[in-house]
């Protein structure tokens, strides 16, 4: 079986919160999800470059909001015109990184993540691109796009802890994170990556 076929099979047995816990910021542990979170979706875009599997992360532009300059998957909030959250992930990916979704294949979803500070519930959708997609950033929404190798995701040397300044009066200490391309990835994106990492570790002999 191919890597994509094996990963698709693993999506029927998600580790969920068990995988998330390793990367919980301390403040996440004291929150419970309300009955009416705002819905959003992100795209995890998988493709090969020279036999190496990669995925895309973005750095959000600076703005007056909770997620300014944070590292994320391309995605955003569900619009009233979106038929479903998969369409949200596709539309937002096209808008933020100008990636063509015409030939992408949805292989499944992983566990949603709730973000207390902005009251968003994020639904991650995994897409397979048979060919290397072209992409470019939306100058309004994205300050940088970078690629991460799947082999780096499962390498423990890219896991660390950091201090995060989230306001003039609030600092979070010893927050678990990934560090790729000198970018610190924590919070909801780290939770999504942690589950993806565990799924891929199950099939690590396939790549």
81-91 per-position pLDDT tens digit: 999 999 999 99
Q: What is the pLDDT of residues 28-63, one digit of tens each?
A: 555 667 778 999 999 999 999 999 999 999 998 865
Looking at the predicted structure, is the pLDDT value of residue 65 above 60? no
| Residue with token string 């998969």 | 86
Look over the chain and give the mean of its residue pLDDT values, rounded to a whole number.
90
Joined tokens for residue 186: 């924590």
- Which letter does DSSP use for residue 111 in this model? -
Q: What is the pLDDT of residues 168-180, one digit of tens each?
A: 566 778 899 999 9
pTM: 0.92
Contact criterion met (CB below 8 Å) for 134 and 148: no
SS3 105: strand
Q: What is the CATH number of domain 3-206?
A: 3.90.79.10
Q: What is the pLDDT of residues 11-26, one digit of tens each?
A: 999 999 899 998 987 6
């Amino acid at each position: 079986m191919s890597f994509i076929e094996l990963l698709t099979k693993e999506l029927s047995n998600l580790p969920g919160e068990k995988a998330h816990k390793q990367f919980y910021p301390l403040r996440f542990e004291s929150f419970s999800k309300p009955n009416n979170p705002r819905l959003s979706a992100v795209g995890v875009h998988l493709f090969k470059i020279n036999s190496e599997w990669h995925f895309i992360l973005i750095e959000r532009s600076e703005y007056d909001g909770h997620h300014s300059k944070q590292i994320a998957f391309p995605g955003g909030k569900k619009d009233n015109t979106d038929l479903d959250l998969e369409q949200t992930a596709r539309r937002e990916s096209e808008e933020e990184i100008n990636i063509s979704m015409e030939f992408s294949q949805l292989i499944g979803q992983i566990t949603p993540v709730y973000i207390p500070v902005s009251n968003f519930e994020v639904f991650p959708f995994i897409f397979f691109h048979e060919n290397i997609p072209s992409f470019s950033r939306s100058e309004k929404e994205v300050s940088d796009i970078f690629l991460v190798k799947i082999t780096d995701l499962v390498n423990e040397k890219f896991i660390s802890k950091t201090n995060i300044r989230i306001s003039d009066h609030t600092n979070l200490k010893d927050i678990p994170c990934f560090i790729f391309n000198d970018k610190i990835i924590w919070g909801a994106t780290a939770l999504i990556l942690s589950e993806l990492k565990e799924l891929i570790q199950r099939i690590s002999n396939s790549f």
